[in-house]
Structure 1
Amino acid sequence: MTPRSMALTRQLLNRPLALSSDHAHILGSMLRNNGDDYMLFGPPSDLEQFIAQKMTTRVDNVAIIKISGILLPGGSGCWWWPGATFYDDIGTAFDVALQDESIKAIVLHIDSPGGTVAGCFDAAEQIYQARSQKPIVAIVDEMACSAGYALASAAETITLPRTGEVGSIGVVSMHVDITEALEQDGIKVTTFQFGARKTDGYPTTPLSEEAIKAQQADTDRLGALFVSTVARNRGLKPEAITEMQAAVYRGQLGVEAGLADAVMSRTDAFTDLLKNL
């Protein structure tokens, strides 16, 4: 894997993202400056052990699953990226903890600005459907925004520290248009296609008005799915979620908004779980 690898970065291009606005801005800036996997996610390291074991820590019959960095679809295979977590890996680690009879509770230890929509809601649904089987607690440390919050909301309870952030319940799509850059470099791209909509979203094709409307409509549908999921998970009215306009709430404000249950440090939250288990 070389520093110029784009395998993970491509997963963020031309697809809906449930990513906090700050990180979306940073992502856009990095892409404009030829960002690659190394720049966005840090250097990979090869693991000899199963990825689910790497993600999970066991303390007093409680499984702590670490969810950090940008969330991506699929699995990581034999690589561990410190700046990213994959939905399939979360699902595998969660299933292992759920099926282990010696595990009495599951903690989602979350520090994530969000990631791709692809894979997000299936992972959240997997967690939500397991509520009746074992206590599931989300401990935010320090951020659970956008897709990260979708996963947190699936837990029975959510705690965050005084400086922690929750929310950003929204969806963003970005289209990369490189036509002007190609023109400046003297490169002309000729596209042959079957189907008028085939190249909608291609970086070498400017977006038509119809394509823009279609992309916005798709983003709206995904946003509505996000709202309904969080509303169900947290017992809130969808209108209340929509009125938040994807705002981010810190500490006690997150509790007052109904997006968290208590303001506690990660240590206090874990101690409280053990005491009430």
Structure 2
Amino acid sequence: MKNLPHLAQRLFNTPLAILPQKAEVVMAALADRFGVAKLFRGNGEMVALDHWDMGDEPAPDRCYEVVAGIAVIPVTGTLVNKLGTMRPYSGMTGYDGIRANLSMALADDAVRAIVLDAESPGGEVAGCFDLVDDIYRARGDKPIWGILTESAYSAAYGIVSACDKVIVPRTGGTGSVGVISMLTEWSRALDEHGITVSIIKYGDRKADGNEAIPLSREARERFQADVDAMGDLFVETVARNRGLSVKKVRGTQATTFLGAKGVDIGFADAVMAPNEAFRSLLAELG
């Protein structure tokens, strides 16, 4: 319970590239007496590779698995800027861990190709696009495939869109290229409980978005402009990564696409089960 304020700061009043339904779940969970245990699913362990049925090679000095010369880097659960660990933990994966694993795998002589094993609704905007650019610039060094073990939405899709290829299963999804910000206001609840909050500030805009006061029109317009700017960056980045027009990506209006529909729109390259996609990469490597 002691980490609740920290979690709230990372979820509210800050732009997120996350599936809206996931944002609603987070909102409901926090509203329910901040039951943070309900926020994330999974036990934080490394994603198992048994769905590829290849048999993994021991790698005691690595934080990623190497399977038949292919490094498998998990992109799972809720994505955050800095998690401070190389592996997924407590239902989250950090951009810092993905970047570190990617760098190590690119420099690892035992690695012929890299797979981003993605199953995520998205997460924080902060740090996402820098990581996406790192992946995009790494194209050509070694084959990098985004293999969805089900779905990659929003920030997770931004990450896999930078790969050489994106493979989605029949029931998996891509898309949700958009940004959302959840602004909370507790002023009426505070009034009902007889609580008065006095805000002493220097600068007219210093208290914009503070939960204790109603959101002004000027503040809303400013926050909307910030979200629009980040949304434009997201659209332009995906358009670059996938070789699509900005107009086409923007026209999706953050829609999600199931299986083959993602291929039709240009967000994925093929529909395959994860094990089939992995074997396809092996065949391409020869």
Q: One fold, TM greater than 0.5?
A: yes
Match in the other structure for 1:38: 37
Equivalent positions of 1:1-277 (< 5 A) are 2=1, 5-41=4-40, 56-77=64-85, 81-277=89-285
Q: Encode CA deviations 1:65-92: one digit per residue, 9 max, x unaligned.
A: 0110111111334995231111111111
Q: Determine if contact 1:163/1:251 at 8 Å carries over to the other structure.
A: yes
Tell me how far apart the structure 2 counterparts of residues 148 and 253 of structure 1 sit (CA, whole Å). 18
Contact 1:136 1:155 in 2 (8 A): yes
Please state how far the C-alpha of 1:53 moved relative to its aligned partner. 7.0
Q: CA deviation at 1:30?
A: 1.8
Q: How far has the Cα of 1:24 moved from its partner?
A: 1.6
Query: What's the offset of the Cα at 1:7?
Result: 3.0
**One-letter identity of the residue aligned with 2:28:** S
Deviations 1:162-195 (A, max 9, x none): 0000000001111110111111221110000000
Root mean square deviation of aligned Cα:
2.2
Cα distance in 1 for residues equivalent to 2:45 and 2:147: 28
**Partners of 1:12 and 1:201 in 2: how far apart?**
14
Give the total of aligned pairs: 272
In the alignment, structure 2 segments of 5+ residues that lack a partner are 47-59
When normalised by structure 2's length, the TM-score is 0.89
Contact 1:61-1:105 within 8 A present in 2 as well: yes
Specify the alignment match of 2:49 in structure 1.
Answer: none
Conserved 8 A contact 2:45-2:89: no
TM-score, normalised by the number of residues in structure 1: 0.92
CA contact (8 A) 2:18 2:123 kept: yes
Cα shift at 1:126: 0.8
Deviation per residue, 1:106-144 (Å, 9 max, x gap): 000000000010011011111110002110000011110
Q: State the distance in 1 between where 2:63 and 2:252 align.
A: 32
| Conserved? CA contact 2:19–2:121, under 8 Å | yes
User: Is the contact made by 1:6 and 1:36 (CA closer than 8 Å) also made in structure 2?
Assistant: no
Is the 8 Å Cα contact of residues 7 and 37 (structure 1) preserved in structure 2?
no
Local SS of the residue matching 1:7: helix
Identity of aligned residues (%): 40
| Distance (whole Å) between structure 2 residues aligned to residue 203 and residue 176 of structure 1 | 6
